[in-house]
Structure 1
């Protein structure tokens, strides 16, 4: 019995794994000498048992330790990451990515960690590449982008080479409709470790578990959230704030005594809408929608969702004192052309 089979047996018996055991599991999962079948059995057993917050925190530490260092220490202490787990199958526009553009245009340091589309038609990396930012930059170029534009995008495959030998088992499990810890781990292993984070999850029961995992992992400050969707037959929740129902928000780290409640569009001074108003599409469609929002012609419901997510981010980094002021600031940045100007400057820089 190899080490991974041993830990599969332990998790089948509902035993919690400590850090050293998780480290052994990680080494086996990234090895090309362990079979796909053995990896799948372990991941399935762990998922069936239910990953505890401490186990997830151990995986975060292990995979961060294996990641390429982007050398952004000069920025990480006051930077934020905004991302979601995906997996909600809502087909919405790239709200967290556009939100990151708004924040960066205001002077907030954003270190975004993401990938190409997996569960949607257009992932964060797809849109970021389309606005002109190359995905495979050298560390010096990433630092230059932070200095000039308050923005860095860390393309997950470029910073997590260890995932190369995990990809086949993830694909195999996906074909069977099976989930594993890797469905939620990605947003929590930003190799730059920015101080602040807004993390959306596809399932309401995950909100507290992910919050506790980030707490155990020592993440400094931020919010884990889930947006419940009202009056829709198929879509019940998404991994971002929306004006389509009640939003569950759990703080962690130094923000743990602040907001911990359900918030609706009304709490942001905005109006409710149906989930259809947030609809996105493929890359071309999402670029079209982005340009409409920038020009003030986008769907009101979508813009309200963007404003809500910006407002919470501004609150997390202490740029504003309340949600209403955050909405006003984000609205001004879009309406006065600051975000559009920022995007044009970024594009011009990388065309050189």
Structure 2
């Protein structure tokens, strides 16, 4: 047994060394080669130092769509899946890595969608490049982050929303955690996260930190069987690059996959009847700060945070198939405004808050008395 294990370890070391040598020569990896490289990382056969070298070599040379596909395939093969959810389940998730440190937008959108009866399997993680990731803010809100499939199915049936914390479903990711933390920079793992939803959703609104990755993200998801995807990148007029959500601070570039066809277009906040607001208007903080802001939002607070959530929620309604925003690849501003109004009603009538309260109550009931 030990001889077999030693042979496997030696093979993994040799494979990864060959990969590093290719990257040192600025050569790209095929999807199969990338899948093998990320596979041995996820299997714990590579040191943190070599993982960091690998990730930086990819970043410096520039990652390719095939390398992204290989990474996603490797991680999907090793995840703890949550099968058999409703076919129209959606995810709203961002890559992170934009370093704007905003309030939690996609998490808030999940409550809005669930309040409108749309099943949501929100994938997320703790903060890597921001102060408060989805898991951080949900913990501060008292929302349970369940792991077993039976409990998640029950939660979906009762509240139309489940939150899939990456560590619960991607334990293999722990092998890369030290290297990612040491680098402190966006890497290919930021892009992989939204593409490995454990529920296997086929409808997604994906926020991406760089417009250069919009089409590759859509193409990879299309190759893996997704039905409808909007990959979005906000381009603030004042800022230091793209933001991984639809924004009020400037145009949002969109790459969409619908009915097997790809579309490219831009969304301006005024097309949704919303006013411009700089990114600083939704500046976030730690988990407690962001949780308080989200709680106030669900209780009726107005402002840039609400409007940003409404813009993203309206587009997510289209991804979910509730409304139709595109006609022959062109965005219909009138339909977008109606989508914003529909999302707003779920905040104004307390339905979105009721989803949060229901999840909190379920979490409290599940905790044993002390």
The TM-score with structure 1 as length reference comes to: 0.91
Give the secondary-structure state (helix, strand or coil) at the position aligned to 2:90: strand
How far the C-alpha of 1:14 sits from its partner, in A, is 4.1
> Residue 154 of structure 2 aligns with which residue?
144
Q: CA deviation at 1:167?
A: 1.4
Task: Give CA-to-partner distance per residue, 1:173-219, whole Å, 9 cap, x none.
Answer: 22xx5x43113211111121112001111122222232223233332
Match of 1:323 in 2: 336
Following TM superposition, where does structure 1 have runs of at least 4 consecutive aligned residues deviating by more than 6 angstroms? none
- String of CA shifts for 1:278-316, please: whole Å, max 9, x gaps: 122222222222232223233x22211111000000011
Does the alignment pair 1:195 with 2:198?
no
Please state how far the C-alpha of 1:335 moved relative to its aligned partner: 0.8
Q: Deviations over 1:153-177 (max 9, x none)?
A: 1110111111122112222322xx5
Residue pairs, 1:224-303, within 5 angstroms: 224-230=231-237, 232=238, 234-254=239-259, 256-257=261-262, 260-298=264-302, 300-303=303-306
Q: Are 1:209 and 2:219 counterparts? A: no
CA deviation vs aligned residue, 1:242-272 (integer Å, no higher than 9, x gap): 11101101102537455x2111111112111
The partner residue of 2:171 within 161, 166, 174 is 161
Task: Pick closer, same or farther for the CA change 1:68–1:205 going to 2, 3 Å.
Answer: same
Task: Determine the C-alpha separation between the residues in 2 that align with 1:96 and 1:74.
Answer: 20
Contact 2:234 2:246 in 1 (8 A): yes
Alpha-carbon distance between aligned partners in 1 of 2:25 and 2:157, rounded to the nearest angstrom: 51
Structure 1 residues 275 and 21, CA gap change in structure 2 (3 angstroms): closer
* 1:1-352 equivalences in 2 (<5 Å): 2-71=14-83, 73-75=84-86, 77-174=87-184, 177=185, 179-230=186-237, 232=238, 234-254=239-259, 256-257=261-262, 260-298=264-302, 300-321=303-324, 322-352=335-365
Give the TM-score normalised by the residue count of structure 2: 0.87
Distance in structure 2 (CA, Å) of the matches to 1:59 and 1:33: 16
Distance 1:335 1:289 in 2: 16
Q: Say whether the 8 Å CA contact 1:8–1:46 is kept in structure 2.
A: no
Greater Cα offset, 5-14 or 262-271: 5-14
RMSD: 1.9
Structure 2 unmatched ranges of 5 or more: 1-12, 325-334, 366-370
How far the C-alpha of 1:48 sits from its partner, in A, is 2.7
| 8 A Cα contact 1:12 1:49, kept in partner | no
- Structure 1 window deviating more from structure 2 (237-246 vs 4-13): it is 4-13
Secondary structure at the counterpart of residue 241 of structure 1: coil
Equivalent pair of 1:58/1:217 in contact (CA under 8 Å): no
Contact (CA 8 Å) 2:35, 2:71: kept in 1 or not?
yes
Render the CA deviation track for 1:89-140: whole Å, top value 9, x for unaligned.
2121101100010001111010011111222222111222233322243211
CA deviations over 1:45-96 (Å, ceiling 9, x no partner): 222332221221121111001001223x232x21111011112121211011
Question: For residues 307-327 of structure 1, what are the alpha-carbon distances to aligned partners after superposition, in whole Å with 9 as ceiling and x for unaligned?
Answer: 100000001112012312210
**Equivalent pairs, count:** 343
3-state SS of the aligned residue for 1:74?
coil
Tell me the distance in 2 between the aligned counterparts of 1:130 and 1:284: 6
C-alpha separation in 1, matches of 2:44 and 2:202? 34
Distance across 2 between alignment mates of 1:292 and 1:26: 41
> Do the aligned partners of residues 218 and 336 (structure 1) sit closer, same or farther apart at CA in structure 2, a change above 3 Å counting?
same
Q: Which runs of 5+ in 1 are unaligned?
A: none
3-state secondary structure, aligned to 1:243: coil
